[in-house]
Amino acid sequence: MRARLPPSALALAALALAAAALRALLRDFPLDDDWAYYTAARALVERGELRVPDIVSPTMIAHTAWGALFAKAFGLSFGALRASTLALSALALALFSRLSVPPGREAGPATGLHLLANPLFFLLSFTYMTDVPYLAWFLLSVLLYRAALREDRASLWLAASAAAGLAYLVRQIGVLIPAGVVLLLWRSGTLTPRRAALALGPALLAVGLHQAWFHFAHGPTWASVVYNGAATAALLSDPLRLSWEVYRRLAGGVLCLGLFTAPLALGALRGWRRPGAGAAAAALVFLAPFLLLQGAFPYFLNIIHEAGLGSPTIPGLEAKISGLLGRAEFRAGLTAAALGSLTVWLGRARDLRAALAAPEMRLWALCSALQLAPPLAGGLFFDRYLLPALPFTLALGLRVAAPGRAGAGALALMLAWSVFGTWDYLNWSQARWDASREAARLGVEPERLMGGIEWNGLHSYEKGMATARASKPLAEIGEWEWLPPGPMRAVVAFCAPEGGEPLVARGYWTPLSARRGAVCVEAIRPRPPGP
């Protein structure tokens, strides 16, 4: 008999989400790359100009337009732009719940909680990053393609392809959604010219119009030339480095997805069969070199890091108050949970294969796998690049697992990690932004303050990149060449509340510890001339 989460647990999860959303919406400062996407939304709202910032690598056209709608309705602010992401986050949760059950069945009230509790999805829902909006359009297209495969109606094929086109206009990898559908139809022997035209038509139209606009009207950006182009080409041209990077990203990705499905793995223990010696040996051989070289979590840059959650773009991380999330024992526990989860799924491999035999699961599996192909060989790999594959992985586990009390408890712990980690991220980011503004009021020129990529990007990027563009080709512009020439006067960093006398100090409360954290602005003293 399947155990259900009690209504009180669901109500608590909803309350935590609502409280986090309110705190995020009331704070007017950027997180991570929000500042770059904000400049695009500002150009569209204030000047009616559709521009892709030079530092941005996604297509982001639909993302900018969606955010501009909310900025028009509520005023241009980071809170309004976060509201646009939260709306699509709710859509993604609803779509995930619908896709996670076989056609014709109803999802349980707790189904969406398995995605909501994930730290990548939870934290990114409170930003204006493209990851969660892309996931929403991706899941919508998969749902519509699933219906089209079942009913073979032209309207469903066209709607699914249009949703894939929207996904492409947020992130380029959206073009792989209809490609996966056509590949599935071809492999099953059901591909016809009519189905190919309907499945591909609107999506390819979106791709063609965007490419024509981008290359002939807008013009290439620095990121499209250097980040998407040169960095990827450099990796592809080095077979040894490429092999290592693909292996590292695959092994780390498998461990991350193992960790994120650990609550479901506890529910899958019933019916578990000890994995065969061959499967266990293959898993050990595959993961052992990675674990020996990389150690414990975290494995990739960006959302999950050694001192909590969020993108730590200021120095002094060793001074950050992080409580349990900053302890080596916690990171070792995450690694052990990932390995344990993968062991359970190896023992349920037969059941997983049976669940994967369903046509709608094969469709979703192929589309999700294709989403990971470009990042595996790209210039950089961030943990948030795993997000498009996460819903399918969870859904496959839900087809096999029978959630019980242990699984519900583990899910509650993961939700707590996400909520408290995100809350901490919002609090120290607020303190960092307040300290930077106070330093500017005290006379530090904003462009001479090292306040993290968010601060420096908003105050220096557009002017600095325009200057660099005027002096040399895009391919020759360095990653940080947009920073103003000359020395910086001050730097923002985590600090001990009781240490020194900085220019500015801002304490903040963190749910991760009984101690208060602090962010300081320290003057940068020029080095004395050398001998």
Domain extents in the chain: 427-523
Cα gap 435→240, rounded to integer Å: 45
Q: Which token pair is 474?
A: 């895009």
191 HSE (CA, 13 A, CB side): 16
* pLDDT of res. 270: 82
Q: Which of 496, 421, 485, 491 is nearest to 452 (CA)?
A: 491
Between 17-21, 126-130, 274-278, 365-369, the lowest mean confidence (pLDDT) is in: 17-21
Averaged pLDDT for residues 366-392: 94
Averaged pLDDT for residues 22-34: 79
Q: According to the 3-state scheme, what is the secondary structure of 472-507?
A: CCHHHCCCCCCCCCCCCCEEEEECCCCCCCCCEEEE
Query: pLDDT at residue 531 above 80?
Result: no
Q: What angle do CA 384, 388, 390 make, to 5 degrees?
A: 85
How distant is the alpha carbon of residue 404 from its chain centre?
29
Interhelix angle 131-151/176-188, rounded to 10 degrees, is 30
In tens, the pLDDT along 454-472 reads 999 999 999 999 999 999 9
| Phi, psi values for residue 227, rounded to 5° | -75, -55
Q: Are strands 449-450 and 490-494 parallel, antiparallel or unpaired?
A: parallel
| Phi, psi values for residue 166, rounded to 5° | -60, -45
pLDDT band at 10 (very low <50, low <70, confident <90, very high): low
Q: Quote the DSSP letter at residue 325.
A: G
Q: Which of 516, 124, 482, 97 is nearest to 303 (CA)?
A: 124
pLDDT band at 303 (very low <50, low <70, confident <90, very high): very high
- C-alpha to C-alpha distances, 330 to 301, 394, 417, nearest whole angstrom: 18, 23, 11
| Residue with token string 């791709």 | 207
Cα gap 356→364, rounded to integer Å: 10
**Residue 322 CB contacts under 8 Å (≥ 6 apart), including other chains:** 307, 308, 424, 510, 512, 513
Residue type present at position 160: A
Cα gap 468→480, rounded to integer Å: 10
| DSSP three-state, residue 310 | coil
Cα gap 526→504, rounded to integer Å: 19
Averaged pLDDT for residues 376-381: 88
| Residue with token string 């709306």 | 87
In tens, the pLDDT along 30-66 reads 999 999 999 999 999 999 999 999 999 899 999 999 9
| DSSP three-state, residue 261 | coil
Mean pLDDT across the chain: 91
Q: Which token pair is 31?
A: 């997180």
Decide if 491 contacts 522 (C-beta within 8 A). yes
Cα gap 330→332, rounded to integer Å: 5
3-state DSSP: the chain helix, strand, coil percent, rounded to 5?
65, 5, 30
- Which residues on neighbouring strands pair with residue 481, listed in sequence order? none
Cα gap 38→76, rounded to integer Å: 9
Helix (H) or strand (E) holding 244: helix 239-260
Decide if 138 contacts 388 (C-beta within 8 A). yes
390 HSE (CA, 13 A, CB side): 28
Report the share of the chain in percent with pLDDT over 90. Answer: 80
Q: Which of 29, 26, 24 is nearest to 519 (CA)?
A: 29
pLDDT band at 271 (very low <50, low <70, confident <90, very high): confident
* pLDDT of res. 3: 41
- C-alpha to C-alpha distances, 215 to 41, 146, 169, 466, 478, nearest whole angstrom: 20, 34, 15, 18, 22
Q: Which token pair is 393?
A: 């992985």
Sheet holding 490-494, edge to edge: 449-450, 490-494, 517-523, 504-508
- Which residues on neighbouring strands pair with residue 523, listed in sequence order? 490
- Residue of higher predicted confidence among 283 and 159: 159
DSSP 349-369: HHHHHHHHTSHHHHHHHHHHH
Residue type present at position 411: L
Between 247-261, 264-278, 383-397, 406-420, the lowest mean confidence (pLDDT) is in: 264-278
How distant is the alpha carbon of residue 33 from its chain centre?
11
Decide if 513 contacts 322 (C-beta within 8 A). yes
Q: Quote the DSSP letter at residue 265.
A: H
In tens, the pLDDT along 209-255 reads 999 999 999 999 999 988 888 888 888 899 999 999 999 999 999 99
Helix (H) or strand (E) holding 450: strand 449-450
Between 17-26, 164-173, 342-351, 506-515, the lowest mean confidence (pLDDT) is in: 17-26
Cα gap 140→156, rounded to integer Å: 12
- C-alpha to C-alpha distances, 91 to 361, 413, 484, nearest whole angstrom: 20, 24, 41
User: String of b and e for 166-190 (b: at least 16 CB within 10 Å)?
Assistant: bbbbbbbbbbbbbbbbeebbeeeee
| Phi, psi values for residue 507, rounded to 5° | -85, 155
